[in-house]
Amino acid sequence: MKEIMLLNKIAQVGLEVFSPDMYQLSAEAADPAGILVRSADMHSYDLNPALRAIARAGAGVNNIPLPRCTQAGIVVFNTPGGNANSVKELTVLALLLASRNVLGGINWVKGLAGQPDIAKQVEAGKSAFAGQELLHRSLGVVGLGAVGGAVANAALSLGMDVMGYDPGLSIDAAWQLSRNIGHASGPEEVCRQADYISLHVPSTPQTKGMINTRSLSQMKDGVRLINMARADLVVEEDIKQALDTGKLACYVTDFPTDGLVGYKNVIAIPHLGASTEEAEDNCAVMAARQLKEYLENGNIRNSVNFPDVSMPHVGEARICILHRNVPNMLAQFSTKLGEIGINIENMLNRSRDEVAYTMIELRNQPPASVHDALRAIEGVIRVTIY
């Protein structure tokens, strides 16, 4: 019986992926083989030796200690695209809120409660909340993954002129983009040409603070900035200065912070990007399936710290090895298994930066000594026999 720890409330449809005769799901598992998590902060979490994988029901993994997990041979999964439609819809709303002072108008109308002849006052005062249309305005989308690509396509249907920039655009993501989306040569081109800019990139050392005094100075006066990705993509003080000078007409973010909540022309949404029933269900099922497949067969898909590797499990046994990406590892595995008298039916290896993953399919069950023999090879992080 494998234990799965639930660090957050996970949609029931996701939990149903696990057979009750094989898995025990609990918020207080003593030695979990896997963890399902959404937003719980795991940086101070004690990674027990039995823990083999963490699946996050969402795209961002800032709440998970990736370096420690990698060192311990713990595979971390996320669910790219699981909440894409939900975030896309909220981004479209953000574009509209940035264009039309709907929120200001609504709050003003609330203040008219109990006064006589409200309809007349509305007609007299509505001009203070006039805005602009999205039609024929230019939108620059930075990051064209599952969410950014969907936003770009949706903006086209609203009549906007759309360009995008993503140096790491995958082939699969590119196939989803409309041919009418322009391709910017770099973020500088997006800054120079766009009336609206929407951010859809993860928080990395390269992207943190990407919206700053320098990048803002390259933008049009009165640009509207949408950030549905991560709070630290922008430098708060630089955003404030741009709002004060009119360089930024509006900043809409799904990540409220102490420095920006209540600031003029800032619309702060309480992190609602993935807060729909559909998105929570999609991410829960996706995370659960990935975790289950790894725990049962060793196949990896949508890992953020190890390479994606999978192959059919057709033999009697399978050895999966997480190891350092250094020369001569495969030769050592083959030699060691040969010394024990084990014939390899099939082998698959993939690497990712400094780590790698090797799957070895066997015709027969290996002796128990194989685990320790392979684990003793320098550079091996974890060995699992299925």
Boundaries of CATH 3.40.50.720 in the chain? 1-83+275-305, 84-268
Taking only the tens place, the pLDDT of each residue in 175-199 is: 889 999 999 999 999 999 999 999 9
Q: Is 8 in a helix, a strand, or coil? A: coil
Taking only the tens place, the pLDDT of each residue in 294-304 is: 999 999 999 99
* Bridge partners, residue 318, by sequence: 361
Q: How many Å is the Cα radius of gyration of the chain?
A: 25
More confident residue, 126 or 171: 126
1-83+275-305 topology per CATH: Rossmann fold (3.40.50)
- Expressed in angstroms, the distance from the first to the final Cα of the chain is 14
Taking only the tens place, the pLDDT of each residue in 116-134 is: 888 999 998 899 999 999 9
Taking only the tens place, the pLDDT of each residue in 199-236 is: 999 888 999 999 999 999 999 999 999 999 999 999 99
User: b or e along 7-41 (b: 16 or more beta carbons within 10 Å of the residue's beta carbon)?
Assistant: bbebbeebbebbeeeebebeeebeebbbbbbbeee
Residue 104 backbone dihedrals phi, psi, to 5 degrees: -60, -40
CATH superfamily of 84-268: NAD(P)-binding Rossmann-like Domain (3.40.50.720)
* Positive or negative torsion for Cα 185, 186, 190, 192: negative
**Under 8 Å between Cβ of 295 and 53:** yes
Q: Is 61 exposed, middle or buried (0-12, 13-18, 19+ CB in 10 A)?
A: buried
Taking only the tens place, the pLDDT of each residue in 263-311 is: 999 999 999 998 899 999 999 999 999 999 999 999 999 999 999 999 9
309-386 topology per CATH: Alpha-Beta Plaits (3.30.70)
0.85 cut: is pTM over it? no
CB atoms within 10 A of CB 372: 9
Residue 69 backbone dihedrals phi, psi, to 5 degrees: -65, -45
Boundaries of CATH 3.30.70.260 in the chain? 309-386
Q: Is 314 a residue whose pLDDT tops 90?
A: no
